[in-house]
Structure 1
Amino acid sequence: SLDEPAISYGIVFGNFMSEGVYTFQGGTDCMIDMMQRELRAAGVEVETSAAVDKIYVADGKVRAVRVNGREIACQAVVSNGSLPRTVLEWTGEEFFSPEYLSGLKKVRLSTSSCQVYVGIREGEKLPYIGDLLFTSTYPEYDTDALLSRNVSSRTYSVYYPEIRPGTNKYSVVASMNARYEDWAKMTREEYRAAKKAMIEDTLTALEQYIPEIRSICDYTEAATPLTFQRYTGHLQGATFGSKFDGLRYSMELFKQVGGLFHTGSVGIIMSGWLGAANYGVITANEVDRYLN
């Protein structure tokens, strides 16, 4: 939105997208598998589907974490999850200064997203329309319009077999900005109806680029801010975690509790794959310095 510092977008689009936008061949699961193999080759133990729900502190320093109910002793913890949950829920307010907590509780969460997945029937093909389409029917830039449930702006990610060698599958994912509060107070019936309407609206909008989309798709699914909150653990399904003002409290976490670090999930520049590559390296160096 317009209340974000311009430099955060300047860095993203100027530095990281100046040479173009590329799609990783093999997909995210392939990339994660490669990362796991590289880590294990270096002697790192890696576990997936492992949720941390408690960080133990003794004498002002991290001493252990609880993972899937199992306590594991450690000297340092790096969280890339929700900053408020890392501090307030998993660690505990009693380990932080009043000044830090006061500032942290004022940090704004980022807005959320909705997505519609459209799977193409086996044997059918999509015409090549590009990998990424940014579309809008709204006449001007308007934050409220971007976040409205009356969607006027969508980003389409189009997946072709070439992206995942060895498959012959096509799919489209439409992404829209959204507000958590617009979905949180619905009844179950209202929620289901709203998801169904969002799928229908997406197919109608997609017909402008793929006229035959309804006849060649055989599976659709919708995700809302509640979906993202459930599966990512981020409060209110915040797409980028907190707003940019959370960066200070993220970077100063280890000054409050020795061995406790945070990376990613702070504004557009410090989130997602970009956050892992950019902020992750900064934090890794801090962890190394702390341990050694």
Structure 2
Amino acid sequence: MKGEKCRKLDETPFPFYAYAQNMQFKGMFSPEGGGRALIDALVASINRRKGEVRPAAGVNRILFRDNRAVGVKTEDGSDIYADVIISSIGIKETLFRLIPEQARPLRPVKAIMKHQSVPSFLVLLVGFEGDLSSFGIKRTAYKTIIGDPSTMSRDPTQKGWVCDDLTISFPSFIDTKHRNPRYPTAEMHHETRYEYFEKYEARQDSDEYRLIKRRITRFYLDHLDEKFPGIRKYVKYSRLITPLDIKKWTGHDQGSMFGLDIHKADNPQLSPRSGIKNLFFTGEDIFAHGLTPLNGVLTASVVTGKNLVKRFRNANGRIGF
């Protein structure tokens, strides 16, 4: 949605603010072994249940019969049928992209109209070669804030852009068990508006867009070198991820990978139950962005009729992700 602003600090529930700050103090969260380890664990669990994983099988629409969800049609034209359909793309994306208008349940449609989508991101992935121990890098997130970043009034596509809220973290310094000390990694990100990049949606191969990406990358790397003088000579790889990339890879509207705003947690109409028999929602719109694993547990509890949150709490003494 154009013209939106990020929620100001005094509008953010304190538990969510505290969670976010705690996460940054610890250097952001990252699965042990990286993203591949997370995927391997999920696939192993599915295989144990005699399930099947179909990679790169995008869904075009949900199939219905007698007002019940019965399966999905994939981009390659295949029909896959199941007793239970769970969509994790986001409530908004599921309703308006995968369900025909006449079949959309009124309750969640009305509920999402009360919420805005959170902003998108600029992310720079950085790979180094060499020993960075002399830079004193800690297992924390480094932040730089200029002015009021919640307004996101600075356009990254314009010359002279200055980033108003930049976060730097070093994933390889967190996962010491699996890291290769000779090839450390860093991640730099900044919340921004999709509308700044929207005009390049059909021109991503243009020289103008490439120049903008190089300019943003240079700004990020310059800032990294200011924070850790001399580190830039160790940079051997960098890749800039823009809101256009996030929209393409995640399928989220406006590249808003965290979905609806944080106040969705207070809306009882946004739940795993879609209002259509056999169709359920999961993902970031169920409870809160940043707590996606818990959102999955909530959906599984609804589908199975078992209080899995209580079960995990009893087994572990607390809920922690």
Per the alignment, residue 13 of structure 1 pairs with 18
Cα distance in 1 between the residues matched to 2:140 and 2:183:
17
**1:33 maps to 2:40:** yes
Per the alignment, residue 263 of structure 1 pairs with 282
CA contact under 8 A between 1:115 and 1:224: conserved in structure 2?
yes
Counterpart of 2:285, as a letter, is: V
When structure 1 is superposed on structure 2, of 142-151 and 279-288 the one drifting more is: 142-151
When structure 1 is superposed on structure 2, of 222-231 and 96-105 the one drifting more is: 96-105
**1:155 maps to 2:167:** yes
Counterpart of 1:251, as a letter, is: S
CA contact under 8 A between 1:263 and 1:270: conserved in structure 2?
no
When structure 1 is superposed on structure 2, of 39-48 and 220-229 the one drifting more is: 39-48
Give the % identical residues.
Answer: 21
Cα distance in 2 between the residues matched to 1:252 and 1:37:
24
Counterpart of 2:186, as a letter, is: V
Cα distance in 1 between the residues matched to 2:225 and 2:20:
34
TM-score, scaled relative to structure 1: 0.83
Cα distance in 2 between the residues matched to 1:171 and 1:260:
40
Q: Displacement of 1:47 after TM fit?
A: 2.8
CA contact under 8 A between 2:71 and 2:81: conserved in structure 1?
yes
Counterpart of 2:44, as a letter, is: R
Query: Which one has the bigger helix percentage?
Result: 1
Q: How does 1:96-135 map to 2 (within 5 A)?
A: 96-98=104-106, 100-105=108-113, 107-121=115-129, 124-127=130-133, 128-135=136-143
Paired residue secondary structure (1:29): helix
Of the candidates 178, 187, 198, which is equivalent to residue 165 of structure 1? 178
Counterpart of 2:236, as a letter, is: D
Of the candidates 270, 294, 299, which is equivalent to residue 278 of structure 1? 294
TM-score, scaled relative to structure 2: 0.77
Cα distance in 2 between the residues matched to 1:131 and 1:23:
12
**1:66 maps to 2:73:** yes
Per the alignment, residue 57 of structure 1 pairs with 64
Q: How does 1:55-94 map to 2 (within 5 A)?
A: 55-68=62-75, 69-94=77-102
Q: Displacement of 1:192 after TM fit?
A: 1.6
Check 1:17–1:215 CA distance in 2 against 1; reply closer, same or farther (3 A cut): closer
Q: Displacement of 1:189 after TM fit?
A: 3.1
Cα distance in 2 between the residues matched to 1:2 and 1:61:
41
Paired residue secondary structure (1:207): helix
Check 1:67–1:164 CA distance in 2 against 1; reply closer, same or farther (3 A cut): farther
Count of residue correspondences? 281
Paired residue secondary structure (1:251): coil
Cα distance in 1 between the residues matched to 2:226 and 2:273:
48
What do you get for the CA RMSD once the two structures are aligned? 2.9
CA contact under 8 A between 1:115 and 1:174: conserved in structure 2?
yes
Cα distance in 2 between the residues matched to 1:16 and 1:3:
12
Check 1:111–1:42 CA distance in 2 against 1; reply closer, same or farther (3 A cut): same
CA contact under 8 A between 1:54 and 1:91: conserved in structure 2?
yes
CA contact under 8 A between 2:284 and 2:295: conserved in structure 1?
no
Q: Displacement of 1:166 after TM fit?
A: 6.6
Moved beyond 6 Å, runs of 4+? none
CA contact under 8 A between 1:146 and 1:177: conserved in structure 2?
no
CA contact under 8 A between 1:27 and 1:163: conserved in structure 2?
no
CA contact under 8 A between 1:119 and 1:171: conserved in structure 2?
yes
Give structure 1 stretches of 5+ with no counterpart. none
Q: How does 1:163-242 map to 2 (within 5 A)?
A: 163=176, 165=178, 167=180, 168-186=182-200, 188-242=206-260
CA contact under 8 A between 2:149 and 2:164: conserved in structure 1?
no
Cα distance in 1 between the residues matched to 2:148 and 2:15:
17
Per the alignment, residue 271 of structure 2 pairs with 251
Cα distance in 2 between the residues matched to 1:246 and 1:147:
27
